[in-house]
Structure 1
Amino acid sequence: MAQQQRKQQKPLDEKKDEAKIPTHLKFIFAGLSSMGAAAVVHPMDLAKTRMQIAASDGSKPPTTPLKVLKTAVKNDGFRGLYKGLSASLLRQAIYSTTRIGIYTTASEYYRNAYQIQPPLAMHVLIAFVSGAMGAYAGTPADVGLVRMMTDARLPPAERRNYTSTVNALTRIVKEEGVLTLWRGAVPTVGRAVVVNVAQLASYSQFRELAQSKLHVRHGLGLHLIASIGSGVLTATASLPVDIGKTRIQNMKVIDGKPEYSGLFDVIIQISKKEGVLSLWRGYIPYVLRVAPGTVVVFILLEQLNTAYFKYALGEEYKSTI
């Protein structure tokens, strides 16, 4: 009986190759693929962030992402679309390297230890923990990113005029204290948990549905369908928390009193003053950032894994995503 159970619990053949990728390369590939995706979708991230901030300073929110991007180009030229890109890349180098690296490594460990695929509940737990750890580590870069992307919207006399990511982080520590680098850490971790669970844990579910219901085979088409489904779900679930995070990180402290006391205070104030639907302000650019970003992350990750197997091991790579 015991031998029969062990036979039934053999891992899927398509997962065997994953163990051949060294752990440190899992983290490196996770970081590189996420940084590549961040560079591709950065203009939409810029539009989303500026739309979220607009109503908080009394100005009229722009009605479309296109207007935000046009204004950015008008004020700063084409490079205005990539304001804060260096901070975004630094954030992904820390945040996504940690979250995806831990997620893939922990999932592999579970498969090897128990000789079965992790159930959905375990996927969710692993995504929860890895997302929280990555987000907390990456919060300083996230604060710098928000500050740099929204600085151009301020009146000239109030602009911080950061010249680089290092300049932003250094000045924040010098002018506002080191703890300011972790301002908004709670909503940042909360958003990351939602994003990680929705993105990583749901990706496999959408993939399985596409295979069983739509009969889509492994390849680019399958990755696109699963990534888009995962991206839309992630955007819808995480945007209110993302708005709260952005407002807290960009808030001003007047006479020693912060504008918001926490995430729930932000959500309540936005709901009262701007309407509940304002919690999803910037939804279109957010979806246009998250969905393509999810697609690019997984495709780049696949290509890096494929290249490693082809050139380092001389073998054919079987998809593990």
Structure 2
Amino acid sequence: MLATCVVQPMDLVKTRMQLMGPAGKNASTGGVIRDILKAEGLFGFYTGLSAGLFRQATYTTGRMGVFNSLFEYYKKNYGVPSFPMKIWMGVVAGGMGAFVGTPAEVALIRMTADGRLPPDKRRNYKNVFNALGRMAREEGITSLWRGATATITRAMVVNAAQLGTYAQSREALLPSMGEGISLHFCASMISGFITSACSLPVDIVKTRVQNAAKGTGQVAVLMGVIKNEGVLALWSGFLPTYAKIGPHTVLTFLFMEQLNSLYFKMA
């Protein structure tokens, strides 16, 4: 949640770019930032922050808790897990966390996308709980899990890349760098880059499925993007994605490592 407070602006920019479709084929990150500043002001970059924080409190808490539990269990009973086993642990953790966090994810996508809609079509959710309540009342309780399959697919890819590569990078760099913030920073930046490259295609599909007014299949969305915008459109918004995932990964693991250290000193 602390990390999200820092990277929320780039997450909003990334979402806006992913929803532009063919019209935004030549849009630049700088241009999108200028448009948001002009239309919504500086605080416009923090639209949907409550949903972003609620998402971290559900999805990220779940995925990291499951991954760490699996890692410690395996290490205790079978020794240090191999890289493929770390990837598999990330897949399981991501899928479980994503199911719990999908309602917050849907609310976040809608709230961050609202500013690009015409005033008469905006949903104008007041906060994440208002968004969840209105979706349940106006569209049915199942709308809270709209795009759940796409969300879980993305989460499996993201967590396999992020958690697996972080643990592997940390392990590989530890002998030469030693324990400390520098180690956590380098391992996090490696993890963030790989995660961005692997996750963008499924992230774009997930974003468009969840922002749709009616249920749309992820395969149909994927084929539509490729047909109408080209294959490279699946990596639209790579710069703001890495500008978000890179620092978010760094800050998340730095905070986690420091909180773990504090916990074990007090335990």
1:85-123: CA deviations, max 9, x gaps? 100110110001111011111211122223x11222322
Match of 1:146 among 99, 109, 115: 109
Structure 2 distance, partners of 1:177, 1:170, is 10
- 8 Å Cα contact 1:198/1:234 also seen in 2: yes
Task: Compute the displacement of 1:229 (Å).
Answer: 0.9
Task: Compute the displacement of 1:62 (Å).
Answer: 6.5
Equivalences for residues 116-135 of structure 1 within 5 A: 116-135=79-98
Q: Which residue of 1 aligns with 2:18?
A: 52
Structure 2 distance, partners of 1:81, 1:300, is 23
Match of 2:31 among 67, 70, 82: 67
Structure 1 distance, partners of 2:168, 2:70, is 18
Q: Which residue of 2 aligns with 1:303?
A: 258
Alignment partner of 1:84 is 2:60: no
Equivalences for residues 113-262 of structure 1 within 5 A: 113-114=77-78, 116-211=79-174, 215-253=176-214, 258=215, 260=216, 262=217
Structure 2 distance, partners of 1:207, 1:102, is 19
- 8 Å Cα contact 1:43/1:69 also seen in 2: no
Equivalences for residues 23-38 of structure 1 within 5 A: 35-38=1-4
The alignment covers a number of residue pairs equal to 267
- Please, what TM-score do these two structures have when normalized by structure 2? 0.95
1:234-266: CA deviations, max 9, x gaps? 01001000000000001123xxxx5x3x22211
Structure 1 distance, partners of 2:117, 2:164, is 39
Task: State, as a whole percentage, how many aligned pairs show the same letter.
Answer: 46
Structure 2 distance, partners of 1:190, 1:144, is 18
Higher helix share: 2
Task: Compute the displacement of 1:211 (Å).
Answer: 4.5
User: Which structure is larger by alpha-carbon Rg, 1 or 2?
Assistant: 1
1:251-309: CA deviations, max 9, x gaps? 123xxxx5x3x222111110110111000000100011111111001100111122223
Structure 1 distance, partners of 2:168, 2:65, is 20
Structure 1: runs of 5+ lacking an equivalent: 1-34, 314-321
Alignment partner of 1:99 is 2:60: no
Q: Which residue of 2 aligns with 1:285?
A: 240
Task: Compute the displacement of 1:132 (Å).
Answer: 0.2
1:107-153: CA deviations, max 9, x gaps? 11122223x11222322222111110100110000000000000111
Q: Which residue of 1 aligns with 2:72?
A: 108
The verdict on how the C-alpha distance between 1:207 and 1:112 changes in structure 2, with shifts beyond 3 A counting, is: closer
The verdict on how the C-alpha distance between 1:59 and 1:154 changes in structure 2, with shifts beyond 3 A counting, is: farther
Task: Compute the displacement of 1:49 (Å).
Answer: 0.2
Instruction: Tell me the amino acid that sits aligned with residue 244 of structure 1.
Output: V
Task: Compute the displacement of 1:64 (Å).
Answer: 2.4
Structure 2: runs of 5+ lacking an equivalent: none
- 8 Å Cα contact 1:54/1:62 also seen in 2: no
- 8 Å Cα contact 2:58/2:100 also seen in 1: yes
- Please, what TM-score do these two structures have when normalized by structure 1? 0.79
Structure 2 distance, partners of 1:308, 1:98, is 19
